[in-house]
A and B are shown apart, each in its own frame.
Chain A
């Protein structure tokens, strides 16, 4: 019983934390420099991971769609099929999960370490709002970076699909992309990409929350990092279900 109560209290605290992030994020002054720094750390430095993963996913999906499409003699639909799968769901979700690993663990560990070495207190002591300086900047950077990285993954995914296709049929790149975008609507691309801002918010907020509330020294830092990844991944997948439903509701 007390376990449930304390768990619920934890959820409430996390929710309040998230609410505070939202409230503080829109209020100036903005920590532009710090946000830029995180955009570099979280965004630019995730580019190789996302690009490589996207490419691999594209190749693999293309091979899979080929084998099933070939059964119906519908090889011509491979680029379009890959594009739909990638842009609507796979791109956003895979980037979200990969980044919850990379970014979530990073933020959790970094803030956790800052917490246990009193750097957060030190920030406060020099009259800096640590919440705005550490948490809001990361969340904002993450919210900006996610859709951009998702776009990158979509692109490298299609590129991978093209390579897999070109190796078999020698299709030119331009033709591939034109065919791929054949069935894509704005309502496929825009909501699916923008929904990753929510993923970004979840990843950074969960990781920050767990990082800032780290206790028990170095051991706690590792714990915060692990829990960041697990919690944000699960939350991300669950939220995705709601978001997809919502998008389908708004754009039937």
Chain B
């Protein structure tokens, strides 16, 4: 307390002036008033968000600021943007450095992004005009996004056509194969079965692709709304490219198959060799078809489409774990499962190579079951749950086969939408089965209907 009043006033005045000066210094320091700097310019067609004092960043480093924005003399001209840049980054600023306007995050300030040049290019000199890259504006991005979607639509449509064509030729190939097999005798008969399976798979896949196309078309508006993520286009493009590639491969394979079958018919006697060829060919058809299935699956799983699918009430059992299914994931949103249990003894017979096939009685039993379900709207999701005896090594495979066989029949016979009809192999885990011991042999048709409707029908 030895301080007099004037001394305090002195401390007060000098202290606060020092604070003010420190503030000025911080601004000045940032504006490079106290450090070495040099000047370069760039030309831009648009200067959205740019003003005098806007930051300049070089490879992410705060490197300077905009000094002046000179308006072009004519509409066709470009704005000249003069910038002050820190002397110490000069080694990075080359004559081939480019400038563009970028924005910090979604709401941030605009800044000039200056890219470092290449080592070979000479250093940019005082006052040099660097190449300016015009910024892509959100509106442009959206427009481009729309174009991308249309492009994808076109590609998917043509892909579908290709797949349909392939399917036709495949069918022909298979028919030929079958003929060949019929004439070639029992030895080759097993390949006919494999071919039939492949055919089914392909048909299934093609159906999925067609649905996908329809959805993409219908969802264009929804998709358009979400076009804020540039990474998304790349993914979509990738998926479309994959699908296109797969289709090409499929076409190629079916070509080979046809040639092979032609060879077979042309040169009888060389049975064993040709059988081998057919086997190989069909194996590769299977592989390729799987590729296609995977490609379309990837498309379906794409976060954007996934949200879209969910909005429309489509379900995606592939993306759903058995546990989630059994926990009743499909029974949310006011839905109840109406389940009809079908015994394997009635439905199936084992075909020569150990697969499960629907018998004529089995078909009738399924028809009866469906008769009980027609009272519910056609767009109710229907899941064919597959069950098999516990203990077998291939319980899961068997349950899967059974479910697939029934689903296939349902699609053909009742023209159920593929998207609303799916399989869920549940192995031996049959909670709530009529046997009462939570096991089941066969399938269960589970239709998910709204609670209100369910109660009303009761």
Asked if B431 lies at the interface with its beta carbon under 8 angstroms from chain A, I say no
Inter-subunit contact A40/B105 (CB<8 Å) = no
Inter-subunit contact B23/A181 (CB<8 Å) = yes
| A59-67, A102-110, A185-193, A217-225 - the one binding chain B | A185-193
Closest Cβ of chain B to A146, distance in Å, is 11
Asked if A77 lies at the interface with its beta carbon under 8 angstroms from chain B, I say yes
Please name all residues of chain B whose beta carbon is closer than 8 Å to the beta carbon of A36 when the two chains form the complex: 5-6, 9
Closest Cβ of chain A to B49, distance in Å, is 13
The complex places the Cα of A77 from the Cα of B104 at a distance, in Å, of: 10
Asked if B150 lies at the interface with its beta carbon under 8 angstroms from chain A, I say no
A151: contacting residue among B6, B20, B26, B106, CB under 8 A? B20
Asked if B19 lies at the interface with its beta carbon under 8 angstroms from chain A, I say yes
The complex places the Cα of A148 from the Cα of B12 at a distance, in Å, of: 8
Inter-subunit contact B27/A189 (CB<8 Å) = yes
B106: contacting residue among A72, A148, A152, A155, CB under 8 A? A72
Please name all residues of chain A whose beta carbon is closer than 8 Å to the beta carbon of B456 when the two chains form the complex: none
Inter-subunit contact A155/B19 (CB<8 Å) = yes
Report the contact-size class of chain A (Cβ under 8 Å from the partner): 20 to 34
Please name all residues of chain A whose beta carbon is closer than 8 Å to the beta carbon of B6 when the two chains form the complex: 36, 40
Asked if B13 lies at the interface with its beta carbon under 8 angstroms from chain A, I say yes
Inter-subunit contact B9/A148 (CB<8 Å) = no
Asked if A39 lies at the interface with its beta carbon under 8 angstroms from chain B, I say yes
Q: What is the chain A residue whose CB lies nearest that of B22? A: A155
The complex places the Cα of A87 from the Cα of B26 at a distance, in Å, of: 14
Asked if A173 lies at the interface with its beta carbon under 8 angstroms from chain B, I say no
Asked if B72 lies at the interface with its beta carbon under 8 angstroms from chain A, I say no
Please name all residues of chain A whose beta carbon is closer than 8 Å to the beta carbon of B16 when the two chains form the complex: 148-149, 151-152
Q: What is the chain A residue whose CB lies nearest that of B107? A: A72
Asked if A40 meets B9 with Cβ closer than 8 Å, knowing A181-B30, A185-B53, the reply is yes
A183: contacting residue among B9, B106, B107, B109, CB under 8 A? B109
Inter-subunit contact A177/B108 (CB<8 Å) = no
The complex places the Cα of A43 from the Cα of B11 at a distance, in Å, of: 11
Asked if A178 lies at the interface with its beta carbon under 8 angstroms from chain B, I say yes
A72: contacting residue among B8, B20, B105, CB under 8 A? B105
Asked if B17 lies at the interface with its beta carbon under 8 angstroms from chain A, I say yes
A44: contacting residue among B8, B24, B26, B105, CB under 8 A? B8
Please name all residues of chain A whose beta carbon is closer than 8 Å to the beta carbon of B53 when the two chains form the complex: 185
Interface residues of A in 149-178 (CB under 8 A from B): 149, 151-152, 154-155, 177-178
Asked if A128 lies at the interface with its beta carbon under 8 angstroms from chain B, I say no
The complex places the Cα of A193 from the Cα of B22 at a distance, in Å, of: 14
Report the contact-size class of chain B (Cβ under 8 Å from the partner): 20 to 34
B23: contacting residue among A39, A44, A189, CB under 8 A? A189
Please name all residues of chain A whose beta carbon is closer than 8 Å to the beta carbon of B12 when the two chains form the complex: 39, 43-44, 47, 148
Asked if A182 lies at the interface with its beta carbon under 8 angstroms from chain B, I say yes
Please name all residues of chain B whose beta carbon is closer than 8 Å to the beta carbon of A189 when the two chains form the complex: 20, 23-24, 27
Inter-subunit contact B26/A177 (CB<8 Å) = yes
Contact with A along B29-45 (1 / 0, CB 8 A): 01100000000000000
Please name all residues of chain B whose beta carbon is closer than 8 Å to the beta carbon of A40 when the two chains form the complex: 5-6, 8-9
Asked if A22 lies at the interface with its beta carbon under 8 angstroms from chain B, I say no
Asked if A8 lies at the interface with its beta carbon under 8 angstroms from chain B, I say no
Q: What is the chain A residue whose CB lies nearest that of B11? A: A44
Contact with A along B95-129 (1 / 0, CB 8 A): 00000000011111100000000000000000000
Inter-subunit contact A151/B105 (CB<8 Å) = no
Q: What is the chain A residue whose CB lies nearest that of B12? A: A44
Asked if A186 meets B26 with Cβ closer than 8 Å, knowing A36-B5, A74-B107, A148-B13, the reply is no
Asked if A37 meets B5 with Cβ closer than 8 Å, knowing A152-B16, A181-B27, A181-B30, the reply is yes
Q: What is the chain A residue whose CB lies nearest that of B5? A: A40
Inter-subunit contact B108/A185 (CB<8 Å) = no
The complex places the Cα of A186 from the Cα of B106 at a distance, in Å, of: 26
Closest Cβ of chain A to B86, distance in Å, is 15
Please name all residues of chain A whose beta carbon is closer than 8 Å to the beta carbon of B30 when the two chains form the complex: 181-182
Closest Cβ of chain B to A202, distance in Å, is 20
Asked if A25 lies at the interface with its beta carbon under 8 angstroms from chain B, I say no
Closest Cβ of chain A to B196, distance in Å, is 55
Asked if A73 lies at the interface with its beta carbon under 8 angstroms from chain B, I say yes
Q: What is the chain A residue whose CB lies nearest that of B53? A: A185
Inter-subunit contact B19/A151 (CB<8 Å) = yes
Inter-subunit contact A74/B27 (CB<8 Å) = no
Inter-subunit contact B26/A181 (CB<8 Å) = yes
Contact with B along A54-80 (1 / 0, CB 8 A): 000000000000000000111001000
Closest Cβ of chain A to B24, distance in Å, is 7
The complex places the Cα of A218 from the Cα of B420 at a distance, in Å, of: 90
Asked if A198 lies at the interface with its beta carbon under 8 angstroms from chain B, I say no
The complex places the Cα of A44 from the Cα of B17 at a distance, in Å, of: 13
Interface residues of A in 1-45 (CB under 8 A from B): 36-37, 39-40, 43-44
Please name all residues of chain B whose beta carbon is closer than 8 Å to the beta carbon of A151 when the two chains form the complex: 16-17, 19-20, 23
The complex places the Cα of A152 from the Cα of B16 at a distance, in Å, of: 6
The complex places the Cα of A178 from the Cα of B8 at a distance, in Å, of: 30
Inter-subunit contact A184/B8 (CB<8 Å) = no
Please name all residues of chain A whose beta carbon is closer than 8 Å to the beta carbon of B26 when the two chains form the complex: 177-178, 181, 184
Q: What is the chain B residue whose CB lies nearest that of A178? A: B26
The complex places the Cα of A185 from the Cα of B66 at a distance, in Å, of: 12
B108: contacting residue among A43, A47, A77, CB under 8 A? A77
Inter-subunit contact A39/B9 (CB<8 Å) = yes
The complex places the Cα of A152 from the Cα of B336 at a distance, in Å, of: 68
Q: What is the chain B residue whose CB lies nearest that of A77? A: B108
Q: What is the chain B residue whose CB lies nearest that of A69? A: B107
Please name all residues of chain A whose beta carbon is closer than 8 Å to the beta carbon of B109 when the two chains form the complex: 183
The complex places the Cα of A155 from the Cα of B20 at a distance, in Å, of: 9
Residues of B within 8 A of A (CB): 5-6, 8-9, 11-13, 16-17, 19-20, 23-24, 26-28, 30-31, 53, 55, 62, 104-109
Residues of A within 8 A of B (CB): 36-37, 39-40, 43-44, 47, 72-74, 77, 87, 144, 147-149, 151-152, 154-155, 177-178, 181-186, 189-190, 193
4 closest Cβ pairs, A-B complex: A148-B16, A181-B26, A40-B5, A151-B20
* A–B complex contacts, Cβ < 8 Å, 9 sampled: A36-B5, A47-B12, A87-B23, A148-B17, A151-B17, A151-B23, A154-B19, A181-B23, A189-B23
Q: A43-B9, A43-B12 are in contact. List 9 more A-B contacts (CB 8 A).
A: A74-B107, A148-B17, A151-B19, A177-B26, A181-B27, A182-B55, A189-B20, A189-B27, A190-B24
